[in-house]
Amino acid sequence: MEKTLSYEGYHLVFSDNFDGPTLDRTCWNVELHPPGWVNEELQEYVDNDEVIKLENGNLLLRAVKTLGKDGSVSYTSGRVSTQWKRDFTCGIFEARLKVPQGKGLLPAFWLMTTDEDKYGQWPVCGELDIMEVLGDQPRKNHGTLHYGLPHEETQGTVMLAEGDFSQAFHDFAVKWEPGCIRWYVDDKEYFRADSWFSAGSDGEKKPFPAPFDHDMYLILNLAVGGSWVGYPDETTDFHRARLAVDWVRVYQK
């Protein structure tokens, strides 16, 4: 399939190649959240070099399994975002990523609305997922919109013809335009959406293309377990449980 992602009319407005000695915190927040914060996930998001580090020009987000003296098991991992530091309405958002393989691991590259007060809390505010690869299905990527109340989603998937997303770096992108959102892997479009809605508990719908018509921010994270991906088992290798990010770029008209 020919490459279909066009940058004509766009210019680069944000990029990070992760070449420095440490994460650039003028651009990125390190988020801290307890276990079970969302989706019945097991990990605690923490801020230390074990779970978030720059190495050989890559950002590494690592999931760590810890055994307690009493036999208990706990998990820590990393999550970074650009909220209130780099926020964008529309554009091309892309990252070059290599994901981990393993039951119960869920890496993600996605956009969340900056100001949830504009339309309401999730899912009314809108969420745009660019890359989600379940650790036990490493050949398949999911691209998803979340919106509305009750919660609805629009989702497309793509399967690699050869190999899987844990074996090599691949480019994941979305082109967000007013009224149309397109998803790409390695510059090839595999899904598009041009229909969604914004409606809160009062049932009143806002004019299309709400809620995807105002600032959103970037998130990169590695979750452990959850209601969708399932949970780790004895086959999950936490020595290799890391999301590697070569670069992140944003283009706008």
Look at the block and give the residue holding tokens 């720059």: 54
Please give the C-alpha separations between residue 176 and each of 38, 54, 213, in angstroms, as whole numbers: 26, 29, 10
pLDDT of residue 1: 59
Look at the block and give the residue holding tokens 């650009």: 82
> Is there a catalytic annotation at residue 132?
yes
Q: Active-site residue among 94, 116, 127, 234? A: 127
User: Which residue, among 219, 214, 205, 220, has the nearest Cα to 116 in the 3D structure?
Assistant: 214
d(CA 243, CA 80): 12
Q: What separation, in Å, do the N-terminal and C-terminal C-alpha atoms of the chain show?
A: 26
Give me the sign of the Cα torsion angle 248, 75, 129, 31. Answer: negative
Q: Write out residues in the chain with pLDDT < 70, as ranges.
A: 1
Strand partners, 225: none
Structure tokens at 236: 């999950």
Q: Cis before residue 150, ω within 30 degrees of 0? A: yes
DSSP string, 122-139: TTTT-EEEEEE--TT-TT
d(CA 37, CA 43): 9
Strand partners, 77: 45
d(CA 96, CA 243): 11
Q: Given the DSSP bridges, would you call strands 43-45 and 73-77 parallel, antiparallel or unpaired?
A: parallel
DSSP code for 239: G
Which value, to the nearest 10 degrees, does the dihedral of the CA atoms of residues 99, 34, 199, 174 take?
A: -20
Strand partners, 106: 223
> Is there a catalytic annotation at residue 177?
no
Which residues of 160-212 form beta strands (DSSP E)? Answer: 170-177, 180-185, 188-193
Q: Active-site residue among 41, 44, 132, 189? A: 132
CA within 13 Å, CB half, 206: 20
Strand partners, 174: 93, 183
pLDDT of residue 117: 86
